[in-house]
Structure 1
Amino acid sequence: MTETNPTDSQTTVTELKAVVQKFVDERDWNSFHNPKNLAMSLAIETAELMEHFQWLTPEEALVVKDDPSRKHAVGEEVADCLSYLLAIASKLEIDLATTLRAKMIRNAVKYPVPDGGTANPSEK
């Protein structure tokens, strides 16, 4: 029997949190998974993700998706970042869906769509 992995559209945030927690529990790493250590680990993994794009032009960065090897390597770092983010949210009992939606509402107020088009967020 072939096992299939559910895609983004078939998976809840709660299920992803459970995948990470099961991994941590199986290795008895809970004593190391406190908010400080998790935030530091997230920062380290984010730097590793940035390394894949260092010195690339914006156009070159976009074509990473067309190179299976490079896309896989970037995906590995994205997964590491996501796992630490999910672990932080779990540890601090943050509901990611509610928090993200509320943040996007605040961002929409802070960065309204300009009349007649889009704006560069760095211009704010």
Structure 2
Amino acid sequence: MESPNGQELISRRSNKDVSLLELRDRLAEFAAVRGWDKHHSPRNLLLALVGEVGELSEIFQWKGEVERGLPNWSSSDKEHLEEELSDVLLYLVQLADVCGLDLGQAALSKLVKNARKYPVVKP
């Protein structure tokens, strides 16, 4: 199997909508061709995920409340945020995959449970 570089991973799909299944498959391929999958135990992926959430938190740590859409942020600050959010998402998708869970289906099921738990209250 040839090792896909970053540009090949991006250029395979020009559509903006990327499924969790596509991310899962690309992550599995990315790790496999590098021999990293042997290190991707649930525990290791969870610890990596927690570390990335910490890095994400640092971006907001001293900013106080920020407006939706981040209108006062520089493009480099937004790019940094995108990178950290992506790291969190990628580790989360990998963790679900290694645990044999369908993250998309689990999220939809959770939305249904939350709708029952927190019904719309009309005034």
TM-score, with length taken from structure 1? 0.79
* Partners of 2:117 and 2:92 in 1: CA distance: 24
Match of 1:112, SS? coil
Q: What is aligned with 2:115?
A: 108
Q: CA deviation at 1:5?
A: 4.6
Q: What is aligned with 1:6?
A: 14
Q: What is aligned with 1:86?
A: 93
Q: What is aligned with 1:119?
A: none
Can you give the 5+ residue segments of structure 1 that lack an aligned partner in the other structure? 117-124
Q: CA deviation at 1:7?
A: 4.2
Q: Does 1:41 align with 2:52?
A: no
- Partner amino acid, structure 2, of 1:26: V
Contact in 2 for aligned 1:53/1:61 (Cα 8 Å): no
The percent of aligned pairs where both chains have the same amino acid is 32
Q: Give the count of matched residue pairs.
A: 113
Q: What is aligned with 1:97?
A: 104
Match of 2:100, SS? coil
What is the root-mean-square deviation in Å for CA atoms of aligned residues? 2.1
Contact in 2 for aligned 1:64/1:71 (Cα 8 Å): no
Q: What is aligned with 2:39?
A: 32
Match of 1:50, SS? helix
